[in-house]
Structure 1
Amino acid sequence: MSLVAPSTRRLGRMLRALLAASLALTLTAQPVMAQSILRDAETEAYLKEISAPIVAAAGLQPGNVDIVLVGDKEINAFVAGGQAVYIHSGLIEAADNTNEIQGVIAHEVGHITGGHVIRFGEGARGATGITLLSLLLGAAAMAAGSAEAGMGVMMAGQQAALGKFLAFNRVQESSADAAGVGFLNKAGISGKGMLSFFLKLRKEEYRYASTYAEVDPFMQTHPMSGEREATLSADVLKSPAYNNKTDPALDAKFKRIKAKLIGYMDDPTTALRKYPESDQSAAAHYARAYAWHRGAYPDKAVEEVEKLVASDPKDPYYRELQGQILLESGKPKEAIGPLRIAVQGSRSSPLISSLLGHALLATEDPALVPEARDVLKVAVARDRDNPFAWYTLGMAYSRLGDEPRAQLATAERYALLGNDRLAMASAEAAMTRIPRGTPDYIRAEDIALSARAAASQRKK
């Protein structure tokens, strides 16, 4: 379930896949992990902050809803089961302010509270029944000697099935729109951003319509953006929160987030064109630092970061970037100071802590290994879903001669990566040398059992 309707060409590919799936009587969604998940401490903190009032207004616990950043230039956001909203980096780049991002999040939370991913099968079952009937009738016509008539019946049936499925999907999208407006109202957040973002979507529709073919509103996964805008306008305009302003501090954070994403995701030349040297704002320094770093100009990257640090020496994210550039430029000892400041300033952010642990180990100084282990233990305790942190912790344990816990950390890493065979082997190796009944032993046992069950299920 996503906020944005796909392009005509991509929609065609998706629909063909849906129709083909009916032959197997199943409809499956592409795994989210097949896409690139971006982890950034500052971005995750920002998305959590701006979504918290919306999530609370929806009757959910903010700590139980994840806002996940996907490294994809397409303007899109979606939910894929559970309480997680996935936002493409391209959507943040296309947005103009925090309020537009909040409008997107409100819509997607509407999908979560509506149980739309769970109910996806309802629409699929009706479409599948029509498709199967058309296949049977078409096959009968072919058997009777009329191949042309048979193909016509099949294609007409598929078109009808497709229309039924898309109609079901459009109802869900409209429902998520209405729910999203309600959440914004309850949270005291203006719906202006939701409306202005739909205007962007309408422009996208017109662009694709002129490129391929006139858009048929009955063959879309979503209601037309113009219709959505008209429907929502009445509710948004009468909202008591309509004229509420976004906290300027949040929009300042948005500009930083957008700039760093452009610096990281865009081609360096493009990023530098969007943020020329004449722009001396914090956001521009951020974008250029990432662009120069990605373009293999470490001195220029450091120069940009130093300007940021000079403006606010205690900013943890400026210090994080400073440490990252130094570390990845082959200067781990110089990176430790900035990263220690970043960890302290971010209240031991797991992502920043794992970077500090990496820097401490990269110095190859044995005296720093115990600190690396302790920092990384805190990191994985607060964020267990970071394979790199587990890998680095395993290295720290290994250098300290604690091979059983190095094997346990390795098992954690392989379990996250979905490598059941190596997760099970590493966990079982750890169990042979970790005292039975201890928390570490029980955890290793859990990993081994889960990996064995997953492997067995795949064989079936």
Structure 2
Amino acid sequence: MGSMRIFARIIAFMAALSLAATPATAQSILRDAESEALFQDMIDPLAEAAGLQPGAVEIVLINDPSINAFVAGGQRIYIHSGLINAADSANQVQGVMAHELGHIMGGHIISTRDGISKASNITILSMLLGAAAALAGSGEAGMGMMMMGQQAAMGSFLAFSRTQEASADAAGAEYLSKAHITGKGSLEFFKKLQNREFRYGYSQNDEAGFARTHPLSGDRITRLRQDYEKDPAWNTAPDPDLQRRFERIKAKLYGYLAEPSATLRSYPEYMDSVPARYARAYAYHKDAQIDKALAETKALLQKNPDDPYFLELEGQVLLESGRPKEALAPLREATHLTGNTPLIASTFGHALIATEDRANFSEAEQVLRAAVARDRENPFAWYQLGIVYASEGDMPRARLASAEQQIMSNRPAQALQSAEVAEQGLPTGSPDWLRAQDIAMQARAELEQRSKRK
């Protein structure tokens, strides 16, 4: 009974995270270890071609059905889930990344969203696999919107001036060339969007149309083709491993966001490919068909028993089905195989806590502390760490963990209160005490900005 109470509290928290974002102010950030690893491998050669170090540019996936990508300052590229859903290949997405990198290197900073780098909802895709309330809040409805977004090609894809666009086009072509990556995918994707523009009748004057914000004239595409076709990399075959991984994460994303019935139509049971099984596992789990979900994960593991993401999926299905003890083995192995990747380690820590076996709490604390040390932008991990601290009677650090989670979840009033309580109980001058002060200052600043906007 006690373990189910803690498990219920965690599920309730996940639902609250999913429902926290309001479309008018911020989209939710979708976080998944496998997807982030792929995106990093896709952008790194382009970043190196631009003179940056590997890992210097970060790709952030936004839960938004429109076909969109943008930069908003710093070295982050924001890509909407609708763009991944619309793309046919990893090479096409790399073309978009190269273009956006051109905006970063050219100093073209524009954002139509207030504070997108502090989006009010960070959704851990692999951690919310079976949380029905969370999925109802941002998943099923989101996929319906995604399909409409695909058809209409709405949004503000790469919304910059013609001069900046031309500059980004040229820079993107240069980065692709230096990285020995063909520009065919880039051209295919821009042509795909131009076809949508024609099909749905958007003009340069449409308020919300793609054409207005990112005009894809025939002349512009012709210039791109001329640049790409004369490049030595034009006939270089795209990386087959990147394409294989892209097909996996595209199906995974679809299975996570779509209604189960839509997923099963797109990936019917006779399809036995890895992407199909991946998508169906999510659909079955969301539909509370746990045996079928586990059958899909078992089939995936039979193909590759050491795939950490298949192990993560198996552990996640078990965990979210109320079987945390059974989830420990696959999640522990997935954590080990990925070198303690923070997102997977956080899921493992979640499972350790959900057993409510106090013998597991010490390991959970170690795992979660390591996870937040490497990735502080993980409110779910902070919440779990707060549970561990509270169980040990360390309430100041429990409140500090709550403050970390609340400030990232766009709840500055609660964050301020938690930080002030934490500060009073922490040793003066300690790193945690200083961090509590920082959060309190940030929260006050955000509250002041809100009051000025009223």
The structure with the greater share of residues assigned to helix is 1
Q: 1:284 to 1:31 in 2, by over 3 A?
A: closer
Question: Are 2:391 and 1:413 equivalent residues in the alignment?
Answer: no
Residue number in structure 1 paired with 2:236 = 244
User: Residue type of the partner of 1:257?
Assistant: I
Question: Are 2:427 and 1:435 equivalent residues in the alignment?
Answer: yes
Residue number in structure 1 paired with 2:135 = none
Indicate the structure whose relative CO is greater, using CA pairs within 8 Å and at least 6 residues apart.
2
TM-score under structure 2 normalisation? Answer: 0.80
Contact 1:47–1:67 (8 Å) recurs in 2:
yes
Q: 1:312 aligns with which of 291, 296, 304?
A: 304
Question: Are 2:317 and 1:303 equivalent residues in the alignment?
Answer: no
Contact 1:262–1:287 (8 Å) recurs in 2:
yes
Secondary structure of residue in 2 paired with 1:63: coil
Contact 1:199–1:226 (8 Å) recurs in 2:
no
How much has 1:106 moved relative to structure 2? 0.4
Q: 2:167 aligns with which of 154, 160, 175?
A: 175
Secondary structure of residue in 1 paired with 2:366: helix
How many residues are matched?
Answer: 384
User: Residue type of the partner of 2:97?
Assistant: I
Whole-Å separation in 2 of the counterparts to 1:167 and 1:266 = 27
Residue number in structure 2 paired with 1:328 = 320
Residue number in structure 2 paired with 1:106 = 98
User: Residue type of the partner of 2:317?
Assistant: I
Whole-Å separation in 1 of the counterparts to 2:65 and 2:110 = 27
Structure 1 window deviating more from structure 2 (75-84 vs 391-400): it is: 75-84
Which structure 2 residues correspond to residues 178-327 of structure 1 after superposition, within 5 A?
178-209=170-201, 220-327=212-319
Residue number in structure 1 paired with 2:363 = 371
TM-score under structure 1 normalisation? Answer: 0.79
Residue number in structure 2 paired with 1:91 = 83
Whole-Å separation in 2 of the counterparts to 1:167 and 1:296 = 41
Residue number in structure 1 paired with 2:108 = 116
Whole-Å separation in 2 of the counterparts to 1:89 and 1:456 = 32
Contact 2:197–2:210 (8 Å) recurs in 1:
no
Secondary structure of residue in 2 paired with 1:64: coil
Which runs of no fewer than 5 residues in structure 2 stay unpaired? 1-21, 113-157
Q: 1:174 to 1:394 in 2, by over 3 A?
A: same
Whole-Å separation in 2 of the counterparts to 1:306 and 1:332 = 17
How much has 1:422 moved relative to structure 2? 1.9
Residue number in structure 1 paired with 2:40 = 48
Q: 1:289 to 1:225 in 2, by over 3 A?
A: farther
Whole-Å separation in 2 of the counterparts to 1:418 and 1:438 = 26
Contact 1:408–1:427 (8 Å) recurs in 2:
yes
Cα deviation digits, residues 110-138 of structure 1 (max 9, x gap)? 11112222599xxxxxxxxxxxxxxxxxx
Q: 2:375 aligns with which of 369, 380, 383?
A: 383
Whole-Å separation in 2 of the counterparts to 1:111 and 1:424 = 36
Contact 1:198–1:225 (8 Å) recurs in 2:
no
Whole-Å separation in 1 of the counterparts to 2:190 and 2:449 = 43
Q: 1:427 to 1:225 in 2, by over 3 A?
A: same
Contact 1:263–1:271 (8 Å) recurs in 2:
yes
Question: Are 2:358 and 1:358 equivalent residues in the alignment?
Answer: no
Which runs of no fewer than 5 residues in structure 1 stay unpaired? 1-29, 121-165
Structure 1 window deviating more from structure 2 (349-358 vs 434-443): it is: 434-443
User: Residue type of the partner of 2:167?
Assistant: S
Whole-Å separation in 1 of the counterparts to 2:71 and 2:23 = 11
Which structure 2 residues correspond to residues 386-397 of structure 1 after superposition, within 5 A?
386-397=378-389
Cα deviation digits, residues 268-299 of structure 1 (max 9, x gap)? 22211221222111111111111111222111
User: Residue type of the partner of 1:329?
Assistant: S
User: Residue type of the partner of 1:298?
Assistant: I
Contact 2:342–2:370 (8 Å) recurs in 1:
yes
Q: CA RMSD in A?
A: 2.5
Contact 1:205–1:215 (8 Å) recurs in 2:
no
Secondary structure of residue in 2 paired with 1:398: helix
